[in-house]
Amino acid sequence: MSSIEAPPLPESHAKPEPSKRWSRMSDWLNPILVREVQQAVKGRVFPVTVMLALGISVIIALVVASEYVDGQTGRGAFDAGFATLIPLVLFIIPMQAYNSMRTELKGGIVEQLLLSRLSPSAVLSGKLQAAMVQFMLYVSVLSPLLATSYLLRGVDLPTIAISLLFALVICVTATAFAVSSAAQGVVPALQPIANLGIAFGLGFGTVAMVGMVASGGYSMTVGFLMRSGEFGMVVSGVVGVAILATTLSWLAARTFLLHAFENKSTPFRVFLFLLPPLLYGWMLLFVPSRFWRELFPIMSVILAVVGIIFGVFMVTEQRALSPRVFAHVPASGLRARFMTPLLPGRDRGMLCFAVYSALLVAICSLVGALSPVRTFGVFSDDGITGGLMALTYAFVYLGAGRFLRGRLPETVQGNHGGRFMLPLLLLLCCLVPVLVDVVIRGEPTRWHVGHIMNPFWTIDEFYNRGGSVISFCLITMLVMAAVQVPAMLRGTSEVRQASLAHQRRLRAKSEPAPEPEAEATE
């Protein structure tokens, strides 16, 4: 900048000072991480908790030294040391992240950050990195105690390593949850819920974990697990669930940090489509094959339920693309078509759910067809028909939700209204026929066609009785699902228009600007 002159700088020394070296190294770190570390060092909480942890570990060491019993003291020292670490990683670090995020949201600071080169993802990543740095520092404070427990032959190294891995996973997941809760403070109505959720969630979690570790139950369980054949399955399962929970918290937090007109939906939809390969992949890689027959249907049901929950959010969005998202639809027709189910908007949300359902049905059908024994869950004909019925019901209710959402204003509040009305509709469709039965017949004795909108009872009835009524229901439901097709086509058409507009813009840019008309000269 021309008017702002740089001050004369001192000549560089041959050996840079440590602070300069740190400054140079920190250039490559996330700015949020650097700032959080600076603030933590200057603040009160971090030094106080470090001193406390140090004091507690000294007390434990003294107790261990005074009551030494060969073979038992080491286990006790480990349990006490790990129980000291738990509140730090499960409560202190996440609460620090929670408060830091709330500060970020005060008075539009986060807007100032988003005007810089930091994206919401970078802000959240910085928070998690800061949590991991604090975790390392707390572990290093308690590491002499953990090392002592090993030297006293209380625990072996793999137990310590796996415990620290669990602690790290817990810390990161809890911090992501805390940051996500704090980010909800953007919507003032959600702030009390966030405060209560974080306080109770982390508080109860910490007390339960400390109780389990301090009672010795944790180290026994880990020891038993390591000797069993399911160690890989359990550890990968825990880590996998933690990663998924962290990712989901991250996406939720990102949603609150972004403006309403930005694209919030696509990452969620991509996440949804990544779930089947991740879950089935985990099963193939880590789960012993003797569990597959039981696990596959359970995972398929979980995936279907997750899809329906995501579907509720997808079909209650605003219909049209925001002007900014519209401007960023890929110019390539093929890419735009591929992206269509992933782009925001309730019509495309319905399309997304349809594609996801088709994917699940295809996977289940393929596995069913290839499976040598078709006797359980989705492997059976009943299971496949039941699954199809469940998905059809989901289609009908999501279609109804999309219709109801269309009656509400095209605002974010309208989205929330739609998300409230859809479960309410399901509840009413289940309860009202039962109440009518009670009033007319005295009690709801058996299923009849009036309960057709009650998916739980209808599907259960199918399993118990079967029959032509159910086939009729299925056909009816499929027809109702087909009613959603025009909406899906409309969603696709909007993306096509956006893509064409992008192409026109690119063409206009590449064309040379018309030369100004030559002035008349003599």
Partner 1 sequence: MSATLLEVRNLDRRYGKVHAVRDLSFTMERGQITGFVGPNGAGKTTTMRIAATLDVPDSGDVEVDGVSVLVEPRQARLRIGYMSDQFHPYPNLDILEYLDFFARAYGLRGKKRKDTVQSVARFCGLLEFKDRPATGLSKGMGQRLHLAKTLLHDPQLLILDEPASGLDPRARIEFRALLKELAAAGKGILISSHILPELGEMCDSVVVIERGERIVSGSIQDIQKAAELEQAIVARVNGDAEAFERFLLVQPHVSDVVADGSRVRFAFRGDDDAMGDLLARAIGQELRIVEFARAEANLEDIFLHTTKGRLQ
What angle is formed at CA 488 by the lines to CA 483 and CA 490, rounded to 5 degrees? Answer: 110
Chain length of the chain: 522
Q: How far is the CB of 240 from partner 1 (least distance, A)?
A: 33
Q: How far is the CB of 259 from partner 1 (least distance, A)?
A: 7
Please name the helix (run of DSSP H) or strand (run of DSSP E) that holds residue 128, with its range, or none.
helix 120-151
Nearest CA to 306 out of 276, 351, 341, 281 is that of 276
C-alpha separations of 245 from 90, 170, 223, 316, 403 in Å: 15, 11, 26, 23, 31
3-state secondary structure 26-82: HCCCCHHHHHHHHHHHHCCHHHHHHHHHHHHHHHHHHHHHHCCCCCCHHHHHHHHHH
Q: Which of residues 253 and 360 has its CB atom nearest to partner 1 in the complex?
A: 253
Extract the tokens encoding 470.
Answer: 């159910």
C-alpha separations of 124 from 115, 194, 201 in Å: 15, 17, 20
Judged by the rule CB under 8 A, the positions of this chain that interact with partner 1 are 1-7, 9, 23-24, 26-27, 31, 34-35, 38-39, 42-43, 103, 106-109, 111-118, 259, 261, 322-324, 327-328, 409, 411, 505
Q: Which of residues 430 and 501 has its CB atom nearest to partner 1 in the complex?
A: 501
Residue owning tokens 């998690």? 128
Q: How far is the CB of 40 from partner 1 (least distance, A)?
A: 8
User: What is the DSSP-derived secondary structure letter of residue 514?
Assistant: P
Q: How far is CA 91 from the centre of its chain?
A: 20
Q: Which of residues 35 and 448 has its CB atom nearest to partner 1 in the complex?
A: 35
Q: Which of residues 105 and 146 has its CB atom nearest to partner 1 in the complex?
A: 105
What angle is formed at CA 516 by the lines to CA 511 and CA 520, rounded to 5 degrees? Answer: 150
Q: How far is the CB of 260 from partner 1 (least distance, A)?
A: 9
Q: Which of residues 20 and 441 has its CB atom nearest to partner 1 in the complex?
A: 20
Q: How far is the CB of 203 from partner 1 (least distance, A)?
A: 24
Q: How far is the CB of 18 from partner 1 (least distance, A)?
A: 16
The number of C-alpha atoms within 13 Å of 410 and in the hemisphere containing its C-beta is 8
Q: Which of residues 191 and 365 has its CB atom nearest to partner 1 in the complex?
A: 191
Contact between 161 and 82 (Cβ < 8 Å): no
Per-residue burial over 155-192, b if 16 or more Cβ lie within 10 Å, else e, is beeebbebbbebbbbbbbbbbbbbbbbbbbbbeeebbe
Q: Which of residues 123 and 421 has its CB atom nearest to partner 1 in the complex?
A: 123
C-alpha separations of 60 from 5, 67, 73, 83, 344 in Å: 58, 11, 11, 11, 55
Q: How far is the CB of 324 from partner 1 (least distance, A)?
A: 5
Q: Which of residues 1 and 369 has its CB atom nearest to partner 1 in the complex?
A: 1
Sign of CA dihedral 45, 48, 53, 56: negative
Contacts of 143 (CB under 8 A, 6+ apart): none
Residue owning tokens 């507009």? 501
Q: Which of residues 134 and 206 has its CB atom nearest to partner 1 in the complex?
A: 134
Q: Which of residues 239 and 320 has its CB atom nearest to partner 1 in the complex?
A: 320
Q: How far is the CB of 409 from partner 1 (least distance, A)?
A: 7
Q: How far is the CB of 46 from partner 1 (least distance, A)?
A: 10
Contact between 163 and 170 (Cβ < 8 Å): no
Q: How far is the CB of 41 from partner 1 (least distance, A)?
A: 8
What is the secondary structure of 151-214 as a DSSP string?
A: HTTSS-HHHHHHHHHHHHHHHHHHHHHHHHHHHGGGSGGGHHHHHHHHHHHHHHHHHHHHHHHH
Q: Which of residues 57 and 318 has its CB atom nearest to partner 1 in the complex?
A: 318
Q: How far is the CB of 6 from partner 1 (least distance, A)?
A: 4
Q: Which of residues 373 and 508 has its CB atom nearest to partner 1 in the complex?
A: 508
The number of C-alpha atoms within 13 Å of 492 and in the hemisphere containing its C-beta is 14
Q: How far is the CB of 94 from partner 1 (least distance, A)?
A: 19
Q: How far is the CB of 411 from partner 1 (least distance, A)?
A: 6
Q: Which of residues 169 and 253 has its CB atom nearest to partner 1 in the complex?
A: 253
Extract the tokens encoding 228.
Answer: 């069993």
